[in-house]
C-alpha cells in the first residue's frame, strides 16, 4: 500500500514539474513574442475605460495572437473564462445526449437550440477576445461576430422559456406573437451592439452602452416573462425542482448586467485591474453561471412539465421555432455584413484624413 502511494506521489510530482515547464516551452516556441503596450499605443476604440496597460500590439502574425492566450495581458481572463464555459457547456451537451433524444424527439429541439446558442456565444466571445487585436478591421469583424452569438443566445433563452416554462394563461394570450417578437428583439440587439461598436470611434462611451443595453434589456424582459410569472407565483409548498435554478439564472443575469453596465472595480482602482479584476471579466463569469443554471432548469422543465407543454404546443411548433432560429442567424449575419462594410469605409478614410 505504501509503495502504491509513493508511486502516485512520484507521478504527481513529475506532472507538476512538467506543468512548470510550460511557460519556458512557450517562450522557446515563440522567443520573439512582443510585450504588451499602454492604452496610448492602440486605437481609441480598442481601449477599455480605466484599463491602462496590457494591450497587445497590432499587426503581429497570427501565431502571436493564438499563443497570447498563455500570455499575461488584459484579455487573458476574458479568453479563458468563456473558453472554460464553452468546454463546460459541451460536457453538459454530451451528458444530456445520453438521456435526451435530440434527433427523434421534437420536443427536445428548444433545449438543443439553447445549448447550441450557448456554445456559439461562448466560442465567438473567445475568438473575439483572442484575435480581435490583430487589426482595426479584424477588431470590428470579430466583435460583430460576438454580437451575433449574443443575439442567438437571447433567442435560445426565449424559446426554452416559452416552450417549457410558459403557463396556460400566458400562453393563451401570447402564443401567436411570443417567438416572432423574440426574434425581432434578438435582431435589434445584434443591430444595437454592432452600431454601438461601429460608432465607438466618435461617440461617448455611454451612447455605445445605451445601444447595447436597451435592446438587450427589452429582449430579456420579454424572453424571461414566462419564468418571471412562475417565480412570482412560487411558494414554500411548491415542489418544482426547476424553480431554484430559474431563480439562480435570474440572480446571475442581474449580476452580470450590473458589471457589464458599470466598470466598478477598475473605476475605483485604475491601473490595478488591468490583468485581473475587470468588470467585464466578472460579466463573463456571471453570464456563464447564468447559462449553466438556465440549461439545467430547461432540462428539468423538459422532463417535469412534458404533459403541459405537449398539450399547449402543436406538433409542428418546435420545427417552426428551429426555422425562426435560422432566420435570426441569417438576419444577424446580414447586419454584420452591412455594418462591416460601413466600418471598412471609415478605416479606408482614416489615412486620407490625416
- Residues 94-130 have pLDDT tens digits of 999 999 999 999 999 999 999 999 999 999 999 999 9
What is residue 29's predicted lDDT score, i.e. its pLDDT? Answer: 53
Q: What DSSP designation does 57 have?
A: P
What integer pLDDT is reported at residue 33 of this predicted model? 77
d(CA 312, CA 207): 42
Can you give the pTM of this predicted structure? 0.89
| CA distances, 71 to each of 25, 146, 263 (Å) | 12, 22, 23
**Radius of gyration, CA atoms only, the chain:** 23
Question: What is the reported pLDDT for 236?
Answer: 65
Q: What is the pLDDT of residue 349?
A: 75
Cβ contact 223:158 at 8 Å: yes
**Residue 10: what pLDDT?**
55
Q: State the pLDDT at residue 2.
A: 47
What does the CA dihedral 246, 252, 253, 256 come to, rounded to 10 degrees?
A: -170
Nearest to 118 by CA among 293, 258, 261, 251: 293
Q: Which residues pair with 55 in a beta bridge?
A: 37
CA quadruple 256, 151, 138, 335: dihedral positive or negative?
A: negative
312 touches 166 (CB < 8 A):
yes
H helix or E strand, kind and range, residue 87? helix 76-97
Q: What's the rounded Cα separation, in Å, for the pair 105 and 299?
A: 14
Please tell me the distance from the alpha carbon of residue 254 to that of residue 288, in angstroms, as a whole number. Answer: 13
Task: State whether residue 349 is helix, strand or coil.
Answer: helix
Q: Among candidates 128, 117, 129, which has minimal Cα distance to 86?
A: 117
Residue 90: how many CA atoms within 13 Å on its side-chain side? 10
Check: CB of residue 30 under 8 Å from CB of residue 63. Answer: yes
Q: Answer for the pair 229, 242: CB distance below 8 angstroms, yes or no.
A: no
Given a cut of 70, the residues of the chain with pLDDT beneath it are 1-32, 201, 203, 205, 236-237, 350-354
Query: Do 278 and 51 form a contact (C-beta atoms < 8 A)?
Result: yes
Measured CA to CA, the distance from residue 178 to residue 165 in angstroms comes to 13
Give residue 133's pLDDT: 95
For residue 31, what pLDDT is reported?
Answer: 53
Distance separating alpha carbons of residues 175 and 265, to the nearest angstrom = 43
Q: What is the structure's pLDDT at 41? A: 94
At residue 13, φ and ψ (nearest 5 deg) are -65, -40
Contact, 170 vs 139, CB < 8 A? no
Residue 295's closest CA among 79, 149, 138, 108?
A: 108
Q: Rounded to a whole number, what is the distance in angstroms from the first to the last CA of the chain?
A: 75
At 104 the three-state DSSP class reads coil
Amino acid at each position: 500500500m505504501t509503495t502504491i502511494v509513493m508511486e502516485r506521489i512520484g507521478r504527481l510530482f513529475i506532472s507538476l514539474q512538467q506543468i512548470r515547464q510550460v511557460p519556458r516551452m512557450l517562450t522557446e516556441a515563440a522567443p520573439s513574442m512582443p510585450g504588451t503596450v499602454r492604452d496610448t499605443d492602440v486605437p481609441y476604440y480598442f481601449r477599455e475605460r480605466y484599463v491602462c496597460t496590457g494591450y497587445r500590439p497590432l499587426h503581429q502574425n497570427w501565431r502571436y495572437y493564438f499563443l497570447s492566450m498563455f500570455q499575461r495581458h488584459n484579455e487573458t481572463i476574458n479568453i479563458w473564462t468563456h473558453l472554460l464555459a464553452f468546454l463546460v457547456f459541451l460536457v453538459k451537451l454530451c451528458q444530456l445526449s445520453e438521456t435526451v433524444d435530440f434527433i427523434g424527439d421534437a420536443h427536445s429541439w428548444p433545449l438543443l437550440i439553447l445549448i447550441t446558442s450557448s456554445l456559439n456565444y461562448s466560442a465567438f466571445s473567445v475568438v473575439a477576445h483572442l484575435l480581435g487585436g490583430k487589426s482595426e478591421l479584424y477588431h470590428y469583424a470579430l466583435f460583430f461576430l460576438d454580437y451575433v452569438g449574443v443575439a442567438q443566445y437571447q433567442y435560445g433563452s426565449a424559446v426554452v422559456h416559452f416552450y417549457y416554462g410558459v403557463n396556460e394563461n400566458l400562453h393563451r394570450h401570447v402564443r401567436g406573437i411570443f417567438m416572432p417578437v423574440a426574434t425581432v428583439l434578438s435582431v435589434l440587439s445584434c443591430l444595437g451592439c454592432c452600431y454601438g461598436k461601429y460608432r465607438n470611434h466618435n461617440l461617448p462611451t455611454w451612447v455605445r452602452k445605451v445601444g447595447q443595453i436597451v435592446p438587450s434589456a427589452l429582449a430579456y424582459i420579454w424572453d424571461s416573462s414566462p419564468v418571471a410569472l412562475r417565480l412570482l407565483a412560487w411558494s414554500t409548498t411548491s415542489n418544482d425542482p426547476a424553480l431554484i435554478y430559474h431563480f439562480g439564472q435570474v440572480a446571475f443575469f442581474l449580476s452580470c448586467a450590473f458589471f457589464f453596465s458599470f466598470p466598478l472595480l477598475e473605476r475605483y482602482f485604475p491601473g490595478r485591474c488591468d490583468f485581473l479584476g475587470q468588470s467585464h471579466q466578472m460579466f463573463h463569469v456571471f453570464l456563464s453561471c447564468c447559462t449553466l443554471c438556465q440549461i439545467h432548469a430547461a432540462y428539468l422543465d423538459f422532463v417535469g412539465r412534458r404533459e403541459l407543454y405537449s398539450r399547449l404546443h402543436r406538433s409542428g411548433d418546435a420545427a417552426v421555432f428551429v426555422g425562426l432560429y435560422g432566420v435570426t442567424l441569417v438576419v444577424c449575419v446580414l447586419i454584420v455584413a452591412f455594418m462591416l462594410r460601413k466600418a471598412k469605409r471609415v478605416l479606408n478614410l482614416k489615412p486620407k484624413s490625416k
